[in-house]
Chain A
């Protein structure tokens, strides 16, 4: 499914954080959100998965306004993997994934055969079947993120929304998670800190600065030294990755950061 954000405005405690954002992820595409800290990436994503209410603007799924759906209905279309981490409450990995079935379940009803099958398949897709009965709290950071991705997949969403899913993961687990994400072929909106990861994984990038999109397009077209200097305030060269041919951003870690 195609997701489009149209002229979205979001205010937090009276302060405008997202101001007139337009962006899109086409069917099956991974669209990345990049931008410096405080540029409004998380706020934008929270509004898409309806944790926050927009002051104005719309989120459209194949042209239908998300706001017309009940929260439970829209959770069948959009699954989120937020940044926050929950408490330690003795859930197994499988139980954690099963929470993704909530939008489909009625009060008092036990998990249906279909629920169990979907949960098993989601665990399979992230390679966590063998660890399904382990306590979530005992898993490594990388394993937890895979389980949380499986929970989102168990929602059988048309669109995945992920906020910095590779944060706090070591390099191997970052690569692993992003490879998993690509393998899903689900329309995805993902905020990423790591510009090189974004450049290889995303089909399309939206660059945010102070709550507004300043550039949109294919990574190769928009990740230019000029944009990196202008938006992120760093000196960098953009070259071809020797192994993959993707754009590779080589930062000048010695150079002076330019004032934004």
Chain B
């Protein structure tokens, strides 16, 4: 390799073989993180016992006697799995949004899309229209609608007058997001008793508290669908990085691709927000980290971002659950405390490069 010295000092995208190794290591890490998540809590349960309980359930034997089965199988396993699904979804959606807006510093949270989803969900919860529905679908659908509308709004504002700049996009996202957050807070405070208000506010900051098995189906299906749909467009996403003209020259209709990505990312954001609230920074940082390791080609980036997001959120949720003795922290608080310094570091790094 004849790279100049500064180039050689930087992490270099690795070859397929190593991407496979990384994926394998992450899969192992995910199993370890899930085990840890289920074993830690108000009552610590040894890992071996965790797997014994899970093993009995999976093989159809009668559940383990005592409270062990309740704690492991009913309380902690669904929550840990949902954390993995939500983390995977955030990693995917961050990668897709960054490709879509051709800006490595973007995610649904920063662009106000999560705020739109939150507002949609809160409207349904507070006004009580269609809130129930099977599997809480009403909230998911409203969150999807909210994210679609806010994404379209931010995009339209940013694109006004033709073309768009990353700065304009992020500023439009912040403005729309703050506005929607304001409306959302007003709605929450207007509604119902103090207990409900507190609950909704806690969820808005990101929380997987009180997860049950029945909540897993919709997000799992949507994240799996999202992965397939995005993976099918992996090369088109690569081409979109080059710009609309170059993409067109490769036989890809950039506007159509963008519309498809709009719908997929809004759907994912809506569903994720409906079950977990608005969790920042994961969607922003995970694709970034993965790009450093396997490079920017989406065929490898998308699955790796999903895996990394899953591991990260399982760990973060466990920390949020166990950091304080007296109460749970919202996940958004933990991701912000970890994510903001990481973002500042990345900004510095980008500045140095340019």
Name the A residues within 8 Å of B246 (CB-CB).
80, 82, 84, 86
Separation of A100 and B238 alpha carbons in the complex (Å)? 11
Q: A213 an interface residue at 8 Å Cβ cutoff? A: no
CB distance from A110 to the nearest CB of B (A): 8
Separation of A81 and B243 alpha carbons in the complex (Å)? 11
Chain A residue with Cβ nearest B256? A71
Q: A75 an interface residue at 8 Å Cβ cutoff? A: yes
Are B235 and A80 in touch, CB under 8 angstroms? no
Are A89 and B241 in touch, CB under 8 angstroms? yes
Q: B337 an interface residue at 8 Å Cβ cutoff? A: no
Are B245 and A80 in touch, CB under 8 angstroms? yes
Name the B residues within 8 Å of A138 (CB-CB).
3-4, 6-7, 10
Contact of B2 among A75, A131, A135 (CB under 8 A): A131
CB distance from A204 to the nearest CB of B (A): 22
Name the B residues within 8 Å of A130 (CB-CB).
1-2
A75-B250, A102-B252 are known contacts. Are A95 and B104 too (CB-CB below 8 A)? no
Contact of A90 among B6, B13, B102 (CB under 8 A): B13
Separation of A50 and B252 alpha carbons in the complex (Å)? 10
Contact of B7 among A73, A89, A105, A134 (CB under 8 A): A134
What number of B residues sit within 8 Å (CB to CB) of A? 39
Separation of A130 and B1 alpha carbons in the complex (Å)? 6
Are B250 and A95 in touch, CB under 8 angstroms? no
Name the A residues within 8 Å of B238 (CB-CB).
91, 95, 99, 102
Q: A2 an interface residue at 8 Å Cβ cutoff? A: no
Q: B58 an interface residue at 8 Å Cβ cutoff? A: no
Separation of A46 and B6 alpha carbons in the complex (Å)? 37
Separation of A221 and B244 alpha carbons in the complex (Å)? 37
Name the A residues within 8 Å of B239 (CB-CB).
99, 102
Q: A39 an interface residue at 8 Å Cβ cutoff? A: no
Separation of A136 and B76 alpha carbons in the complex (Å)? 45
Contact digits for A60-100, partner B, Cβ 8 Å, 1 yes 0 no? 00000000001111111011111111111111100100111
Q: Which of B32-40, B121-129, B289-297 contacts A (4 or more CB under 8 A)?
A: B289-297
A27-79 interface (Cβ within 8 A of B): 46, 49-51, 70-76, 78-79
Q: 22 interchain pairs (CB within 8 A)?
A: A75-B251, A76-B251, A79-B249, A80-B249, A84-B243, A84-B246, A86-B242, A89-B291, A90-B295, A91-B13, A91-B296, A95-B13, A95-B238, A102-B250, A105-B235, A107-B231, A110-B299, A134-B3, A138-B4, A138-B6, A155-B250, A161-B249
Question: 8 tightest A-B contacts by CB?
Answer: A80-B249, A75-B251, A72-B251, A51-B248, A82-B245, A90-B296, A89-B296, A86-B242
Could you list which residues of chain B lie within 8 angstroms of chain A, going by C-beta atoms?
1-4, 6-7, 10, 12-13, 99, 102-104, 231-233, 235-236, 238-239, 241-246, 248-253, 291-292, 295-297, 299, 353
